[in-house]
Amino acid sequence: PSILILNGPNLNMLGTREPQIYGSETLADVEALCRAEGARLDLEIDFRQSNHEGELVTWIQQARGTRSAILLNAGAYTHTSVAILDALTAVELPVIEVHLSNIFRREPFRHHSYVSMAARGVICGLGSHGYVLALQAADRLIRATAK
């Protein structure tokens, strides 16, 4: 099975961006963690980042029929993008929403997520380990439907 892991705007700045909130790991470190867990679970990992809403929408559309699940940290688009929600709904794949920070401990505008309406589950506040947990969850969901 192949998993699309999508990262939205500003996540390319991880490591230097507000380290007190997001930690000192870079996005390359997060990718390496995902690749290691993917290898352990025998999942193919397609790990991407974009600062452009439309590019994220296109990548989500392309996952239809080609990927088994989507892990998505949509960054700030989480709180604004009906277009990403619509794309996630259209592809009919299990979606797991991930956030490094605990969005519920932060500003009220981060408490609402459009992505959540299309997600099977949400993991937030556990830093990069959340991606590892999300991969384990995706693996379980995929294997359960395969049976």
To the nearest whole angstrom, how small is the minimum distance from the Cβ of residue 73 to ligand DQA?
Answer: 5
Please say if 22 is a catalytic residue. yes
Burial class (CB in 10 A: 0-12, 13-18, 19+), 66: exposed
7 marked ligand binding residue:
no
> How far does Cα 138 stand from its chain's mean position?
11
Closer residue to ligand DQA in complex, CB, 65/108: 108
- Whether the CB-CB separation of 136 and 41 falls below 8 Å is answered with yes
Give the separation between CA 22 and CA 128, rounded to whole angstroms: 9
Say whether 77 is catalytic.
no
- Report how far residue 19's alpha carbon sits from residue 120's, in angstroms, rounded to the nearest whole number: 29
Nearest to 11 by CA among 1, 2, 3, 23: 23
Please pick, among 77, 99, 114, 131, the residue that the annotation labels catalytic.
99
Q: Is 101 annotated as belonging to a binding site?
A: yes
CB of 125 to ligand DQA, least distance (A): 8
- Given the rule CB under 6 A, which residues bind ligand DQA? 10, 73, 75-76, 78, 99-101, 103, 110
CB 103 to ligand DQA: min, Å = 5
Please, which residue, 44 or 104, has the CB nearer to ligand DQA? Answer: 104
Structure-token pair, residue 96: 């797991």
Binding residues for substrate, by number, are: 73, 79, 86, 100-101, 110
The catalytic residues are: 22, 99
